[in-house]
Amino acid sequence: MAELVRFHNTVGGRESDSSTGRWLASMNPFTGEPWAEVPHCGVDDADAAVDAAHGAFVKGPWADMTATARGKLLRRLGDLIARDADKLAAIEVSDNGKLLAEMAGQLRYIPEWFHYFGGLADKIEGGVIPTDKPEMFTYTKREPLGVVVAITPWNSPLLLLTWKLAPALAAGNTIVIKPSEFTSCSTLALMALFKEAGFPEGVVNTVTGFGGEIGNALVSHPKVAKVAFTGGDATGAAVYQSAAKHIKHVTLELGGKSPNIIFADANIDDAVKGAISGIFAASGQTCIAGSRLLVQRSVYEEVSQRVVAFAKTARLGDPMEKTTQVGPITTLPQRDKVLGYIDVARGEGARCLLGGKRPEAPELAKGWFVEPTIFGDVSNEMRIAREEVFGPVLSIIPFEDEQHAIEIANDSIYGLASGVWTSSIRRAITMADKIRAGTVWVNTYRAVSFLAPFGGYKKSGVGRESGQHAIDEYLQTKCVWINLAEGVPDPFVLR
Ligand code: NAD
């Protein structure tokens, strides 16, 4: 077996391994074999990372740096990521199974977040308050929170990390990153670029290992001010609970069961492509997956058949190959979870129109693949329509009219994203008003930008990432009162 590539943590600007000397294998989902290893850290390592971040926040060059200088560092980092895009993309593909084509594109776009928030760093302004007390000069300042713990999932490690890092650093915080135990390698590789960009020691630190072992130590640590979490809703609830007990700021980006709604008046060619991109891109392992395809009854059969025909053409294969369209599932437990949901759907009486199993091609045998799978005759009461599968499994649900579509769309514990396919502007705007979700796409799907806020309604989360206001999630307001009058009046009376 080839030698495993070793990745190291960065703590206080230095390379750091686990204090117990343990290592954790990182698996390649296409070969089903380990390809790298990362430190298997424990609570002591988590404490050391928080101490380093806290030290960098309270003293040293970062604490004294101007916002303009911080912004320059962020923009330089963005340039370095663009330079190393291919290298980082290859690491992510080996570790995660995402397509090289998608990763190369993602890594060319990720620098935009660092450029944008780098530009925003010195535009964080307070204000002067014209209070009703003329003897007072009163102003506000926007200040960083302190140490931010960024906890990320396995499905899009670098992109989802970027959504946290760029605003948090622009605001002047310091960071401890806890990547997913399944896909830590790209995050650790990124650390070298922080050093090269000139970030002072301790501003960005990493600690790798299992959430169950070190997650709570990070979330409840007295020196941590904020937890920025992306992951499943059950873990998110546990993180929220622990953070509440210790009074931390929190943002949560959680799961989804997003409705992608096709009306009979839509351009059906486009809508079919939108349905495919909603569920089979990234093998359905995206929080925004349009996993419930709602189709108006009059075009239900036609759309179902055309979506199935299109999905049949999808090329499964090595994610490193340019021609591959559907890669493996990132982790073995997740592959088994997806297959389990397929059994559940069959048991509930949904009709399997495509896939429903592992592919038979011998060249895919070692990888953790699931065939693109489509169920028809799904009712919104079935578990397959209610629970997040996080894999290439589409449920097609018929609806009668606008009101019915809205009822089904909103009948979910989640509210992350949604799609509407229609040629009527009235209907597009009405649906956008009525759908309870953080994102509504009309005649498109899966568009994100550094400029546009992203986040969930209901159990899909708390707070927003990207866009101008994302920086507010990493700031707090101080109010300063300066007495301009001579003397202090009656000390027993509120002024
Ligand atoms: P997960 O909840 O299992 O793990 C997420 C992270 O939390 C990992 O780093 C894990 O180690 C850590 N963790 C686990 N237990 C912890 C604990 N007790 N305390 C602190 N941290 C802990 O999620 P996952 O399986 O890695 O990712 C898939 C999930 O992420 C899906 O539900 C998906 O919808 C969601 N997701 C949401 C978004 C979004 O932006 N809304 C984006 C991508 C993924």
Give pLDDT tens digits for 418-430.
999 999 999 999 9
Class of domain 259-442: alpha beta
For residue 180, which atom of ligand 1 is closest to its CA?
9
Dihedral Cα 79, 83, 89, 94, nearest 10 deg: -120
Range 192-197 contact pairs with CB under 8 angstroms and sequence separation of 24 or more: 193/77, 193/80, 193/81, 193/84, 194/10, 194/77, 195/10, 195/13, 196/80, 197/73, 197/76, 197/77, 197/80
Q: How far is the CA of 463 from the centre of ligand 1 (A)?
A: 16
Q: Which of 160, 233, 287 to mutate to test the pocket of ligand 1 (most atoms within 8 A of CB)?
A: 287
Q: Quick check: is 3 catalytic?
A: no
**Long-range Cβ contact pairs of 59-64 (< 8 A, separation 24 or more):** 60/200, 60/201, 60/202, 61/200, 62/172, 62/174, 62/199, 62/200, 62/202, 62/203
Task: Tell me if residue 100 falls in helix, strand or coil.
Answer: helix
Q: Which atom of ligand 1 is nearest to the CA of 232?
A: 32
Q: How many helices (H) and strands (E) are present in the chain, helices listed first?
A: 15, 23
The residue nearest atom 9 of ligand 1, judged by CA position, is 180
Residues of the chain with CATH 3.40.309.10: 259-442
Catalytic residue among 37, 41, 201, 287, which?
A: 287
CA-CA distance, 405 to 447, in Å (whole number)?
22
Task: Indicate the pairing of strand 249-253 with strand 174-178.
Answer: unpaired
Cα-Cα-Cα-Cα torsion 207, 210, 216, 221, nearest 10 degrees, comes to -10
**pLDDT tens digits in sequence order for the chain, 495 residues long:** 679 999 999 999 999 999 999 999 999 999 999 999 999 999 999 999 999 999 999 998 999 999 999 999 999 999 999 999 999 999 999 999 999 999 999 999 999 999 999 999 999 999 999 999 999 999 999 999 999 999 999 999 999 999 999 999 999 999 999 999 999 999 999 999 999 999 999 999 999 999 999 999 999 999 999 999 999 999 999 999 999 999 999 999 999 999 999 999 999 999 999 999 999 999 999 999 999 999 999 999 999 999 999 999 999 999 999 999 999 999 999 999 999 999 999 999 999 999 999 999 999 999 999 999 999 999 999 999 999 999 999 999 999 999 999 999 999 999 999 999 999 999 999 999 999 999 999 999 999 999 999 999 999 999 999 999 999 999 999 999 999 999 888 889 887
466-473, Cβ contacts within 8 angstroms, sequence gap of 24 or more = 466/113, 466/163, 468/120, 470/117, 470/163, 470/167, 471/117, 471/120, 471/124, 471/167, 471/170, 471/171, 473/167, 473/228, 473/249, 473/251
- Rounded Cα distance, 284 and 421, in Å: 20
Stretch(es) of the chain classified as CATH 3.40.605.10: 5-254+460-479
Q: Got the DSSP string for 140-173?
A: EEEEE-SEEEEE--SSSHHHHHHHHHHHHHHTT-
Name the closest-CA residue to atom 26, ligand 1.
Answer: 153
Whose tokens are 């301009």? That residue is 484
pLDDT at 1: 64
What pLDDT, on a 0 to 100 scale, did the predictor assign at position 296? 98
Atom of ligand 1 nearest to the CA of 218: 20
Residue nearest to atom 22 of ligand 1 (CA): 211
- Of ligand 1's listed atoms, the one at least distance from the Cα of 242 is 19
* 204 beta partners: 175
Q: Distance of CA 473 to CAs 101, 153, 204, Å?
A: 32, 20, 18
Atom of ligand 1 nearest to the CA of 153: 26
Tell me, what's the pLDDT at 90? Answer: 97
Q: Which CATH class is domain 5-254+460-479?
A: alpha beta
User: What is the pTM for the complete model shown?
Assistant: 0.97
**Cα–Cα dist 490/343, whole Å:** 75
The residues lining ligand 1, judged by C-beta closer than 6 Å to any ligand atom, are 151-156, 160, 178, 180-181, 211-212, 215-216, 219, 230-232, 235, 238-239, 253-256, 287, 388, 390, 416, 456, 461
User: For ligand 1, atom 30, which residue shows the shortest CA distance?
Assistant: 231
Output the CA 248–ligand 1 centroid distance in Å.
18
Which residue's CA is minimally distant from atom 12 of ligand 1?
Answer: 211
Which residue do the tokens 């340019």 mark? 322
Q: If you take atom 35 of ligand 1, which residue's CA is the nearest one?
A: 231
Selecting among 37, 201, 253, 473, the annotated active-site residue is 253
Which residues have a Cβ under 8 Å from the Cβ of 117 and sit 6 or more positions away? 74, 166, 167, 169, 170, 450, 470, 471
Catalytic residue check, 287? yes
Report the separation in Å between the CA atom of 495 and the middle of ligand 1, taken as the mean of its atom positions.
48
Query: What pLDDT score does 140 carry?
Result: 98
CB 175 within 8 A of CB 51: no
